[in-house]
Amino acid sequence: MGISYYIDGKLYPKEEAKVSVLDHGFLYGDGVFEGIRAYNGRVFRLEQHLDRLWQGARTLMLQIPLSRDALRKAVLWTLRENKLRDAYIRLVVTRGVGDLGLDPRKCPRPSVIIITDTISLYPAELYERGMEVVSVSTRKNRTDALNPNIKCLNYLNQILGRLEVNREGAPEGIMLNQDGHVAEATADNIFMVLKGILVTPPAIAGILLGITRETVLELAVKEGIPTEEKLFGLHTLYNSEECFLTGTGAEVVPVVKVDGRTIGAGVPGEMTRRIIKSFRELVQQEGTPIDG
């Protein structure tokens, strides 16, 4: 039996799962989504992802057509039906079918889509030896134009950055904000170690407050690692002792070179390895059981 995807209460074989060409999510990027992971039969931090989904939908005045409990059950049911214990979950709420005009009022019912499948963003060896990344010229959107914590379906800003990354042949790229401060990677948050302190850009840098980012900050406290959220530029990043990226898909991946500058000793540092170990242990133990 192949993988099936959930669309508005029903499961469809992967090859037959479709949305209307008049869905405003397709036409205009009008919708919200979450990328979630399941490990060892548990969905990691599902409640935090649902919190962010509802917050983004509220700001967009997008009424999710299921209760929170019903949506939670739909996610777990889809995983069970696909017999997945370790999975990537893409939870999407679109504005729904309307007309070719922009007016959201023409979309009477939003649509809920749940994709459960497997994912592997980076080869395993990158987690051992670390990756080399580049900075890109595409700047992050201004936060007064589009709040980065609305995890919406419009990802053109990140895609423009990704095009530069692809041109350079790198696995990921660092994006700066309008003031030239390091914000985040095209698909991940960023951390560095500077003088023994774990540092990450703050919300005012124009970043998505990632669930994995928050998890790493919590783990650092438990590990006795001092942390700080502050603005910094590329010069500071080039001279850091360690660097790593975090994201639902990427998890925690070391960075050993930025724009050709070697970070620290050029190998994943001791603090990075501690965080990776703690994160991997946590995700195997914590989460909402798929089997209820």
Cα→Cα distances 17→7, 8, 272, Å: 7, 11, 40
pTM: 0.95
d(CA 137, CA 38): 35
Question: What is the pLDDT tens value at each position of the chain, 292 positions in all?
Answer: 689 999 999 999 999 999 999 999 999 999 999 999 999 999 999 999 999 999 999 999 999 999 999 999 999 999 999 999 999 999 999 999 999 999 999 999 999 999 999 988 788 999 999 999 999 999 999 999 999 999 999 999 999 999 999 999 999 999 999 999 999 999 999 999 999 999 999 999 999 999 999 999 999 999 999 999 999 999 999 999 999 999 999 999 999 999 999 999 999 999 999 999 999 999 999 999 999 7
Ordered by start, the domain boundaries in the chain are: 4-117, 124-283
Q: Which of 151, 195, 257, 277 is an active site residue? A: 151
CATH tag, 124-283: 3.20.10.10
3-state secondary structure of 174: strand
Q: Is 151 an active-site residue?
A: yes
Residue type, 54: W
**Strand (E) positions, 145-185?**
173-176, 182-185
**Does domain 4-117 bear CATH number 3.30.470.10?**
yes
